A and B are shown apart, each in its own frame.
Chain A
Amino acid sequence: MNGKAQSTAYKAEPSAQNSEQGGAALTIKGVGVDYSTAEGTFTAVERVDLDIAAGEFVSIIGPSGCGKSTLLHSIGGLIPPTRGEVEFRGEVIGEPHPDRAAFVFQDYSLLPWKTTLDNVALGLQFKGVSKGERRARARDLLRTVRLEAFANSYPAELSGGMQQRAAVVRALAMDPDILLLDEPFGALDEHSRRQLGVEMAELLTTTGKILILITHSLDEAVFWGDRVVVMGASPGHVKEVMEISAPRPRAVDFMLTDEFVDARRHLLELSRHDLDGEPEPAE
Chain B
Amino acid sequence: MKRRIVMRASSPLRTRAALIRCVVVVAALIVWAGAVRLGFVDPVFVSSPGDVGRALAGFTRDAEVLSALVVTVRTILIAFVIGTVAGLVVGTVLGLSRTLKDAYMPPILFLLSTPKSMFLPLFVLSFGITTQTAIAFGAFTVFFYVCVNIVGGVELVEAHHLRLARAFGASRLSTFRHVVFPASLPGFFAALWHGMTHAVSSILLAQLFVAIGGLGTLISVYSTSLQTDKALALTVVISVIAVALAALWSITERRLTSWRANQ
Residue ranges of A at the interface with B (Cβ–Cβ < 8 Å): 35-39, 42
Contact = CB atoms under 8 A, between A and B. Distances in A.
Contacts, number: 14
B9 to A, nearest CB: 8
A42 B5 CA distance: 11
Given A37-B1, A38-B4, A38-B5, 10 more contacts: A35-B1, A35-B2, A35-B5, A36-B5, A37-B4, A37-B5, A37-B8, A38-B8, A38-B9, A42-B1
A132 B199 CA distance: 56
Q: When A and B form their complex, which 6 residue pairs have the shortest distance between CB atoms, in order from nearest?
A: A38-B8, A37-B5, A37-B4, A38-B4, A37-B1, A42-B1
A42 B8 CA distance: 15
Nearest to B7: A38
Contacts of A42: 1
14 contacts: A35-B1, A35-B2, A35-B5, A36-B5, A37-B1, A37-B4, A37-B5, A37-B8, A38-B4, A38-B5, A38-B8, A38-B9, A39-B4, A42-B1
Interface of B: 1-2, 4-5, 8-9
A37 B9 CA distance: 9
Contacts of B9: 38
Nearest to A65: B1
Nearest to A37: B5
A42 B4 CA distance: 12
A120 to B, nearest CB: 30
Contacts of B4: 37-39
Contacts of A38: 4-5, 8-9
Contacts of A39: 4
A68 to B, nearest CB: 16
Nearest to B5: A37
Contacts of B1: 35, 37, 42
Nearest to A42: B1
B187 to A, nearest CB: 28
Interface core residue of B1, B2, B9 (most chain A CB under 10 Å): B1
A35 B3 CA distance: 12
B33 to A, nearest CB: 43
Contacts of B5: 35-38
Interface core residue of B2, B5, B9 (most chain A CB under 10 Å): B5
B154 to A, nearest CB: 29
A232 B9 CA distance: 30
Contacts of B8: 37-38
A35 B8 CA distance: 14
A103 to B, nearest CB: 19
Nearest to A38: B8
Contacts of A35: 1-2, 5
B1 to A, nearest CB: 6
B6 to A, nearest CB: 10
A63 to B, nearest CB: 16
A5 B5 CA distance: 46
A265 to B, nearest CB: 34
A39 B9 CA distance: 12
